[in-house]
Amino acid sequence: MTVAGGCLVALASCATPRASASSASASPAPAAFAYEVPLSLDTRSSIVSVWVLRPDRPATEAQKQMNLVFGEGISREVELLLRPTPARGCPIEASDLRLEGVESSAADVIQPRLDGRSVRVRMLRVGASELTVRAMYSPRLGDCVGEAALGASVATALRIQVNVLPLPTRTTQRVVGCAPSAAMMGVAGRVPYETTFVDLDGSELHFSNVRVAGGFRLRSNVALPGWSFDAARGLTLPRRRATLSLVPLHGEPGINLAWALPSSEIERLDVEFFVAGAAGSPVTVTDGASIAGSHRKLRGIYARVLAAQVCDAFDMSSLELESDTPEVCRLYRNARGHGDSTNSDAVYPHAIRLVRDGECSVRLRGAALDHGRGIERRVRATFSNVTNFIDFPAEAPAP
């Protein structure tokens, strides 16, 4: 199948990326090397659709929208698996929802039918139709619904605006969570990159039965040995400093990317210090704060990197967490994963353990940052009733 002059292949048979020399580039720096990845489609015939129910108002109808691709090589029929989910914190089982009927407002566009606890939708042509699924629902649990509704069978409905569209011929690429021109440290070696379809106006199009990947030329000012692209894992690059551009095969614009930026060029570092919650929310530690012990908090001060001029995870190996008051608080290694809000790449892997009541002074320092001038962030706070905090596990003691 061919789209806009490029090849379109199934994921299982995706062609090996091609490399060639090139002098053309969409990036400011000359591109000596160009690598091409063909466009590939991941089609799916089963779609999970969450049906949000209101146990406090069982008869409330839900509204959704769904785009489906209609084209050669793509299944004309999809199975809609309806997953009931409560809008409030009340448990709901799939058996609570009994499908009673289904209809289409445009029978020449889609033909739906019930199939047990799912709905099968057959596409006939490009167009739009409202799909209505009718069901009976029996609310349970008196603490979630009023007594009058408890155990009663109530009619409800799910209305889905179904848009059946032809396969688009244009795509765009973006680095997720980043500006079109971004800098990355490449800590994990993977670019958080995705391809999406766009319409003629450049607006993104997302489909329930098709996902798109690849479809770009990667241009670099240096060779990228060992680079790879996988539709599931994405784009993986070696840790080699490079100026890159990703140019769509079937659309525009491209993305300029500074890859494997060294720590020495980081000029800004925003940091948050916090006491992690063993149960509940963390407490931010600000300079001059007074914090009392609580059995719902962990006995430690963590540091989280909020921003550092890069879009991917910050290279924590370039930082050091230190205590200026070891008689009150001292370093505790491998503390990530203890307590709520600590199991994140943005959280420094070690913490400062509170030893006794008093004033604790903590600093996070990157000596090589800012072109060797270094960046340091410091906080000083007073802690009381430290024994009321939950202590760290004994198997990983502070040095």
Bridge partner residues of 133 (DSSP): 102, 158
CA-wise closest residue to 397 among 337, 341, 355, 347: 355
| 180 and 222 share one domain | yes
Q: Which two tokens stand for residue 177?
A: 């969570």
| 279 and 383 share one domain | yes
Q: What's the chain's length in residues?
A: 399
Amino acid 274 reads F
Distances in Å between the alpha carbon of 174 and those of 171, 181, 239, 250, 293? 10, 10, 20, 14, 45
Q: In what order do the strands lie in the sheet with 46-53?
A: 46-53, 77-86, 118-123, 110-115
H-type helices in 38-156, by residue range?
A: none
| 269 and 384 share one domain | yes
Query: Is residue 382 a contact partner of residue 287, using CB atoms and an 8 Å limit?
Result: no
Q: CB neighbours of 203 closer than 8 A, spacing ≥ 6?
A: none
| 322 and 218 share one domain | no
316 three-class SS: helix
Query: Is residue 115 a contact partner of residue 79, using CB atoms and an 8 Å limit?
Result: yes
| 51 and 106 share one domain | yes
Instruction: Give the count of domains, the chain.
Output: 3
Q: How far apart are CA 6 and CA 39, in angstroms?
A: 7
H-type helices in 48-152, by residue range?
A: none
| 195 and 228 share one domain | yes
Question: Sign of the C-alpha dihedral, residues 180, 181, 184, 188?
Answer: positive
Is 218 a domain residue? Answer: yes
**pLDDT digit string (tens) for the chain, length 399 residues:** 333 333 322 222 233 344 443 333 334 444 579 899 898 888 989 998 888 877 667 677 889 999 999 998 899 999 999 888 776 656 666 667 889 999 999 999 999 999 988 999 999 999 999 999 999 877 665 445 555 455 567 788 999 999 999 999 888 888 877 776 788 888 888 888 888 898 888 888 999 999 998 888 899 999 999 999 888 778 899 999 999 988 888 766 778 889 999 999 999 999 999 999 877 789 999 999 999 998 889 999 999 999 888 888 888 999 999 999 999 999 999 888 887 788 888 899 999 999 999 999 999 999 999 999 999 999 999 999 999 999 988 645 444
Q: Tell me what pLDDT residue 358 has.
A: 97
Bridge partner residues of 214 (DSSP): 39
| 105 and 182 share one domain | no
| 72 and 29 share one domain | no
Residue ending a domain, choose from 166, 195, 221: 166
Is 116 a domain residue? Answer: yes
Query: What's the domain range around 295?
Result: 265-388
CATH number at residue 79: 2.60.40
Distances in Å between the alpha carbon of 321 and those of 113, 225, 348, 376, 387? 61, 35, 8, 10, 23
CA-wise closest residue to 293 among 339, 354, 338: 354
DSSP of 250-279, one letter per residue? Answer: SS---EEEEES--GGG----EEEEEEEESS
| 35 and 180 share one domain | yes
Is 147 a domain residue? Answer: yes
Is 9 a domain residue? Answer: no
| 297 and 383 share one domain | yes
Q: How far apart are CA 277 and CA 78, in angstroms?
A: 44
- Buried b / exposed e along 268-279 (16+ C-beta atoms within 10 A): ebebbbbbbbbe
DSSP 8-state code for residue 391? P
227 three-class SS: coil
Q: How far is CA 199 from the centre of its chain?
A: 24
- In degrees, rounded to 5, the angle at the alpha carbon of residue 194 between the alpha carbons of residues 191 and 199 is 150
Residue ending a domain, choose from 261, 285, 318: 261
Residue ending a domain, choose from 151, 166, 181: 166
- Buried b / exposed e along 43-64 (16+ C-beta atoms within 10 A): beeebebebebbbeebeeebee
| 32 and 175 share one domain | yes
CATH number at residue 307: 2.60.40.1080
| 241 and 344 share one domain | no
